[in-house]
Amino acid sequence: MFEDFKVFETTLAGRPLVVETGKVAQLANGSCLIRYGETAVLCAVTASEKPREGIDFFPLSVDYEEKLYAVGKIPGSFQRREGRPSEKAILTSRVIDRPVRPLFSKDMRNDVSIVCTVMSVDPDCPPETTAMIGASIAISISDIPWDGPISGVVVGLIDGEYVINPTAEQEAKSQMHVTVASTADLVAMIEAGANEIDNETMYGGIMAGHAANQEIVRFINDIVSQIGKPKTAFESNEPDAAMYEAIKEFAIEKIRYALDTDDKRIRDERMSPVYTEVHEAFDSEYPEMTAKIDECLYKLQKYVVRRWLLDEGKRVDGRGIDDVRPLAAEVGILPRTHGSGLFTRGQTQVLTIATLGSSGDAQLLDGIDEEESKRYLHHYNFPSYSVGETRPSRGPGRREIGHGALAERALLPVIPSVEEFPYTIRLVSEVVSSNGSTSQGAICGSTLALMDAGVPIKAPVAGISCGLVTEGDRFMTMVDIQGVEDFYGDMDFKVGGTHKGITAIQMDLKIHGLTPEIIRQALDKCYKARIYILDEIMLKAISTPREELSPYAPKMLSTKIDVDKIRDVIGKGGSVIQKIQAECNCKIDIEEDGSVFISALNTEDAKRALSIVETIAKDPEVGAIYKGRVTRLMTFGAFVEIAPGKEGLVHISKLDVKRVEKVEDVVAVGDELLVKVTEIDEQGRLNLSRRDALIEVEGLVPENTVSDAPRPPRRDNGRDGNFRRDHGRR
């Protein structure tokens, strides 16, 4: 039945990598079921027969689909179906897209769709890089024109040694998580998170991943040689050469003049009439190719910018090759938020706001990995007004999610642990003006906002990008690229880090890949610029995190109780915890390990709630002093509840340091009293003393407190039936 079914096997990082073709998804242009350990991903690629009309870009879509059956879960949604892709799935789609896209011809306009469906997950064999390799194989063996293959691996660092595709146990110990994709001879993509790793160590990890990829690329090439389909031709969208040269002669000087400014608004104003003049001159001459006139103008702007950089070392805004645009940093911009920071680099401005919440505000995750929640969140918004455009807001797209995740990854290594700072932290970076490097501006603005909020981060983090222009064997890199250099250049190499080292990298390429020399140079230039931004700008705006939190931020206290006592603190149907929250005007979150987090706007409320929780969870001790509430009055004393379910008697002789005639003369139901535990009888009943608490806490001098008030009659056990009923029922 499956005449074309074939199996190809190799090993990757000591684990079996098996590729099956010709059995499933046979109607796709190319497909394979790739297994890595017990991870299985179905990868399929299709292409439209004809180009899409009226577009000026290559329409590639990459979808990484997480199926919860892959880890034996049923979706938690109402319909019990997988819904929108998770943020991690979107980020993985982007990671696969970035090394794959540049290997397609830029003038191709046929729709191409790559779908990677995760069907089984082995925690020790990452499905993300498995999907990347599977996608590469599916395209390579298809008839779709492509200059691949590529391969991708994850590189970890454990005890100074590089580990390829670390297991789940190794990942927990690793100092970095670097995804490296490669072609046969170049590094095609880098996505990194690291715990302040120095440049040399990071470079070594990238090269270790590159070396591992070479073996898999050879494996894929062997598969292609056996079953690969002949590549089909496609209709090129390249503008007519004669038309391009005519427009170049007509408009080149106008374009040079328009681009030669450091102000994006002026540049756009100058270019607008150029477009008008060119169309007026050439639309009638090329009536069937008017759409490609804009393509010619794009190519001419790209030509001018690249020639300036390569031949003259000239940048459009007049800066030196390694100069950073004018910078500014401010904190405390918004008075009612918990923290805010505005970072400006040239015409790029990012305002980041920090919000502190309780542990219950942590984000719950419903994905195929083992992470169930996270307490540090970073969101990035890119409104149309930031680039002077007019379009409605439709929520975050893949780009916004990706940039937010990059900033989140850059700051994660410096976020204090929950034990040090028991808050959920949300950062929102609002891009209010954009002319390139907004994701790196978000990193800088976020550091400012965290410090302004009083979050005790381990070190400040800054971000900077490095660009690239290549021509044959020639290349040049430039630091802090603005929008036009990103648009017409070959690379956006983003690096976030501290004084000590790198915390995040994201590399976007428009060419096939980078040589080791380019990577090393980009790392070095980003380090120098990063240190300048930290020392000369950010730390002069705020040098250390504020010692006090905003008065509008919740005050958080935490403790840990015995797991067996959790049910006592919660109470039947949540009655106890709800009562504490209502009385103390606070919020209480309890985790499965017994960790208790209490948040309140008032510190005293939080302390009161903490005292109650600890009183419930830890049996009262003789000699301990508590604040309790009077619940009942008797002729012989008052009953005081020191915690829900824990009540004791303060005898009339122990109500005050002076003589008490009537209980009602000293206390009333609902009063709060300081009481000291003087006795715990065999049945666990508490005898309390306000008198002893006042003497110990407030230093009051006692009078003769012998009372004439009647005492309860005693039986042999020291308690009559009524007293036992009143005192013992708790």
Higher-scoring residue by pLDDT: 608, 143? 143
Cβ contacts of 382 within 8 Å, gap of 6 or more: 399, 400, 403, 431, 434, 438
CATH homologous superfamily of 554-618 equals K Homology domain, type 1 (3.30.1370.10)
Q: Mean of the pLDDT values across residues 631-638?
A: 92
What 8-state DSSP symbol labels residue 313?
-
Per-residue confidence at 706, pLDDT binned at 50, 70, 90?
very low
How confident is the model at residue 704, as a pLDDT?
53
Q: By the 8 A CB rule, do 688 and 628 touch?
A: yes
Nearest to 325 by CA among 264, 273, 382, 377: 264
Output the pLDDT for position 640: 93
pLDDT at 726: 44
Q: Alpha-carbon distance 689 to 708, whole Å?
A: 18
Confidence of residue 724 (pLDDT cuts 50, 70, 90): very low
Where does the pLDDT of residue 687 fall: very low under 50, low under 70, confident under 90, or very high at 90 and above? very high
pLDDT of res. 720: 42
User: What percentage of residues in the chain have a pLDDT greater than 70?
Assistant: 96
State the pLDDT at residue 116: 98
Question: What rounded mean pLDDT belongs to the chain?
Answer: 91
May I ask the CATH architecture of the domain 241-312?
Answer: Orthogonal Bundle (1.10)
CA-based Rg of the chain, rounded to a whole angstrom?
34
- State whether residue 283 is helix, strand or coil: coil
Average of pLDDT values for 272-284? 93
Outline which parts of the chain fall under CATH 2.40.50.140. Answer: 620-730
Q: How far apart are the first and last CA of the chain?
A: 75
Where are the CATH 3.30.230.70 domain residues in the chain?
6-227, 327-541
Q: Is the pLDDT of residue 727 over 80?
A: no
pLDDT of residue 394: 83
Distance CA 220, CA 137 (A): 6
Q: Is the pLDDT of residue 112 over 90?
A: yes
Question: What is the topology classification, in CATH, of domain 327-541?
Answer: Ribosomal Protein S5; domain 2 (3.30.230)
pLDDT tens, residue by residue, 15-55: 999 999 999 999 999 999 999 999 999 999 999 999 998 88
CATH of region 6-227, choose from 3.30.230.70, 3.90.226.30, 3.90.230.10, 3.40.50.80: 3.30.230.70
Tokens (6 digits) for 688: 């309390």
- 620-730: CATH topology is OB fold (Dihydrolipoamide Acetyltransferase, E2P) (2.40.50)
Structure tokens at 370: 């083992």
Q: What is the pLDDT of residue 312?
A: 92
Mean pLDDT of the 380-405 span: 92
Q: What is the pLDDT of residues 484-530, one digit of tens each?
A: 999 999 999 999 999 999 999 999 999 999 999 999 999 999 999 99
- Is the pLDDT at 220 greater than 70, yes or no? yes
Angle at 649 between CA 655 and CA 564, to 5 degrees: 130
pLDDT of residue 77: 78
pLDDT tens digits for range 321-373: 999 999 999 999 999 999 999 999 999 999 999 999 988 888 888 778 777 78
* Least confidently predicted of 76-85, 135-144, 147-156, 331-340: 76-85
Could you tell me where the DSSP H helices lie in 414-515?
438-452, 483-488
